[in-house]
Structure 1
Amino acid sequence: MSELFKVTIDNITIEVPAGTTILQAARKIGGEVAPPAMCYYSKLKGSGGKCRTCLVEVSKGSEKDPRPMPKLVASCRTTVMDGMEVKNITSEKVIDARAGVVEFLLLNHPLDCPICDQAGECHLQDLSYEHGKEGTRFEFQKRTFHKHDLGPYIQLHMTRCILCYRCVFTADQLTNKRVHGVLSRGDHAEIATYIEKSLDNDFIGNVIDVCPVGALTDKTFRFKNRVWFTKPVDAHRDCDKCCGEVQLWMRGDEVFRVTARKDEWGEIKDSSKGSTGWICNECRFEKKFASDWTIEGPTQVNRHSVISQGHYVGLKKPNETFEKVMNGREPRLFMDIHSVSEVNKPEIQLSLIHGPAHSDDFKENNKD
């Protein structure tokens, strides 16, 4: 049995196995104690340490060495020590540093949320709303790139990219041959394919799910609907390529898009078979009918976003008090509106008109 370390994060103490990072320990506590992360992804080896949004203050290194760490550390890359004390939202240094990181991430990011398909489920939107500042000090021209089609199903809008490298790690670890990565350096760095190659691997569609912003989008869903107008439901099918467990984003009986199932941190869940729930391109792009799937029920969305609004699972309607007071009798309207109105024709009962009232149902106003 592995050794357990006690670590205190925002005055909450928890025991975790040795080798656990501060971010993983904070996620076990949950809520606002867990720092945000834009580049770290628990399912991808080597991810983390690039965006710096998960910076925390270590006020006590350990029981053996209680000295505080001199600088803020990346919680996704720093392992806990026995007796360590960490400050996240209780530290003014962390709050100020995180606001600065958000400002850097937004320097070249376009303000196109109203036309971006990621709006409503964008981690950068959540981050800027919760940890950003009201205004910006950036007065120069933003960096821009041309849009690229990476095959028949994926479009790359590099102008929105924050270089988190998640898609690169996904392609490197999930596909047989990676054909895209980071080209150039510094302000010219961009995610791209070498000589405009297409991404045609059976599992390459998962780069859409891991992208925290709207840089990689599903071409079969672009500009078709807003995510908060759709209802996510869990569904599955027998697939010989992947786990076949997905989320269908539906409006009525129409399936607008198919994605992998995600947890409260925006990461792909493990499937019922125990492996990571990556899905293949066939399930994602080609199975767009409800009849293709076995629908399990509405997805329990627990992220603080507009997607979680308007889901009427377990809704309890308030009791109508009038019927209780009046012994079950429904309310009736006693006033005859024709006696006080000079607009409606007395012989016309508007409630009996089939469809909306027409101008012919009203008499013309008297002209002086």
Structure 2
Amino acid sequence: MAEEKKLFKVTIDNITIDVEPGTSILNAARQIGGDVTPPAMCYYSKLKDSGGKCRTCLVEVAAGSTADPRPMPKLVASCRTNVMDGMVVKNITSDRVTDARNGVVEFLLINHPLDCPICDQAGECHLQDLSYEHGKGASRYEFKRRTFDKHELGPYIQLHMTRCILCYRCVYTADQVSNERRHGILSRGDHAEIATYIEKSLDNDFIGNVIDVCPVGALTDKTFRFKNRVWFTKPVDAHCKCDKCSGEVQLWMRGDEVLRVTARKDEWGEVKDTTKGEPGWICNTCRFERKKISDWVIEGPTQVNRHSVISQGHYVGVKKPHETIAKVMGGRDPKLLMNIKDVSEVNQVELSELKGPATSESFKQLKKGN
């Protein structure tokens, strides 16, 4: 009989859960869900070695473990710190964490252009959500924001380096998902930027996935550029037979028009696994070239979080109430359009027949129908 694997008990914001050894604090919190889960701008569970760069997932460890219950002196990155048996963690219940997270968001917004009204990522931007929850009403930064030279990344991907927060997700994606990587971080410090080497184009079959992993509007889809707002579109799940990827995608439609195609994402904004249990990365052919509804088999509307702006006007599982007017009217169908003049006696006298300025007498005549 196989020996049962020992589980660690970890308490996060007064909620205790059993997790496997080697689980990070962030993933343990995700098993609880809700507000207990710290935000993450750089960590991506499908990408090896990601995390530890944005510092938005900082938490306070009030007790290290049962064997050593001393608290950790500094806040730690929950995506890079594994749980120990008996560990006690504070996230939303810690004033230190809230203050630190507010400071991190302020730093992230220092050089951000704040061009949400024209950004294609608006409505599904993680930085928008983060700044709404932890941002300040005004900036204390009085200096000139940094700018970068424009880089062309090819016919499908648009780079806006001024929006980038250097999360490195796109670099890891190109390294681990596509066959080769032609872009990365150039320069250092405040001059660091995402760019291609010697102005090369990103033309790998799976390079379009860098759009899905980008938490802000730094990498966007050129075929969807300025076409519509995501809250005006209807996301539906669909699939097709593809010899390069799983073909399981999410279509963003307006009427019968397919405006863009993306990979399916989970509640944490990460690419979902396919029905076969494999990572759901999609190829460029599915993403950029199959924009006809006849190319896909529609499975049904995507389940959208009701707190998301995308959920406005998007109802799933809602039943239309049974119409009873015909029964009330004895089986006759209601007249949806009718001329009020034909059934009302209020306007029998035209105002043009009233001479002189409008007086109380003229209104009395109109009321009497004279």
| TM-score normalized by the length of structure 2 | 0.88
The equivalent position to 2:347 in structure 1, one of 310, 322, 338, is: 338
Deviation at 1:304, TM superposition (A): 3.1
Distance 2:180 2:322 in 1: 60
Once the two structures are superposed, residues 257-293 of structure 1 have per-residue CA deviations (whole angstroms, 9 ceiling, x without a partner) of 0000000000000011211000000000000000000
Amino acid of the residue matched to residue 231 of structure 1?
A: K
Q: Which residue of 2 aligns with 1:249?
A: 252
Report if aligned partners of 1:2, 1:18 keep a CA contact under 8 Å in 2. no
Q: Which residue of 2 aligns with 1:121?
A: 124
1:77 partnered with 2:86: no
Amino acid of the residue matched to residue 347 of structure 2?
A: H
Distance 1:325 1:68 in 2: 71
Amino acid of the residue matched to residue 282 of structure 1?
A: T
Structure 1 pair 23–122 and aligned structure 2 pair: CA distance change class (3 A): same
Q: Which residue of 2 aligns with 1:280?
A: 283
Q: Which residue of 1 aligns with 2:200?
A: 197
Give secondary structure in 1 for the equivalent of 2:288.
helix
Distance 1:81 1:105 in 2: 31
Q: Percent sequence identity over matched residues? A: 80
| TM-score normalized by the length of structure 1 | 0.89
Q: Which residue of 2 aligns with 1:48?
A: 51
Deviation at 1:324, TM superposition (A): 9.1
RMSD after superposition = 2.0
Once the two structures are superposed, residues 28-69 of structure 1 have per-residue CA deviations (whole angstroms, 9 ceiling, x without a partner) of 000100000000000000000000000001111111111111
Amino acid of the residue matched to residue 196 of structure 2?
A: T
Once the two structures are superposed, residues 155-211 of structure 1 have per-residue CA deviations (whole angstroms, 9 ceiling, x without a partner) of 111010000000000001112221100000001000000111001110000000000
Give secondary structure in 2 for the equivalent of 1:338.
coil
Once the two structures are superposed, residues 297-337 of structure 1 have per-residue CA deviations (whole angstroms, 9 ceiling, x without a partner) of 00011273211222122224567898899888969976445
Report if aligned partners of 1:147, 1:155 keep a CA contact under 8 Å in 2. no
Q: Which residue of 2 aligns with 1:229?
A: 232
1:33 partnered with 2:36: yes
The equivalent position to 1:160 in structure 2, one of 158, 163, 172, is: 163
Distance 2:323 2:91 in 1: 47
Amino acid of the residue matched to residue 271 of structure 1?
A: T
Which piece of structure 1 moves more, 125-134 or 300-309?
Answer: 300-309
Structure 1 pair 303–60 and aligned structure 2 pair: CA distance change class (3 A): farther
Once the two structures are superposed, residues 99-127 of structure 1 have per-residue CA deviations (whole angstroms, 9 ceiling, x without a partner) of 00000000000010000000000000000
Aligned residues: 343
Give ranges in structure 1 of 5+ residues lacking alignment.
344-368
Amino acid of the residue matched to residue 210 of structure 1?
A: V
1:88 partnered with 2:83: no
Deviation at 1:152, TM superposition (A): 1.1
Deviation at 1:219, TM superposition (A): 0.5
Q: Max radius of gyration: which structure? A: 2
Deviation at 1:339, TM superposition (A): 3.6
Distance 1:118 1:336 in 2: 56
1:218 partnered with 2:227: no
The correspondence of residues 139-158 of structure 1 with structure 2, limited to 5 A, is 139-158=142-161
Deviation at 1:340, TM superposition (A): 7.1
Distance 2:11 2:144 in 1: 44
Amino acid of the residue matched to residue 301 of structure 1?
A: V
Distance 1:180 1:303 in 2: 37
1:179 partnered with 2:182: yes
Which piece of structure 1 moves more, 326-335 or 273-282?
Answer: 326-335
Once the two structures are superposed, residues 116-155 of structure 1 have per-residue CA deviations (whole angstroms, 9 ceiling, x without a partner) of 0000000000000011122110111111123322111011
Deviation at 1:255, TM superposition (A): 0.2
Distance 1:339 1:112 in 2: 57
Structure 1 pair 171–303 and aligned structure 2 pair: CA distance change class (3 A): farther
Structure 1 pair 14–198 and aligned structure 2 pair: CA distance change class (3 A): same
Distance 2:28 2:258 in 1: 37
Q: Which residue of 2 aligns with 1:209?
A: 212
Report if aligned partners of 1:163, 1:190 keep a CA contact under 8 Å in 2. yes
The equivalent position to 1:312 in structure 2, one of 307, 315, 330, is: 315
Distance 2:350 2:17 in 1: 71
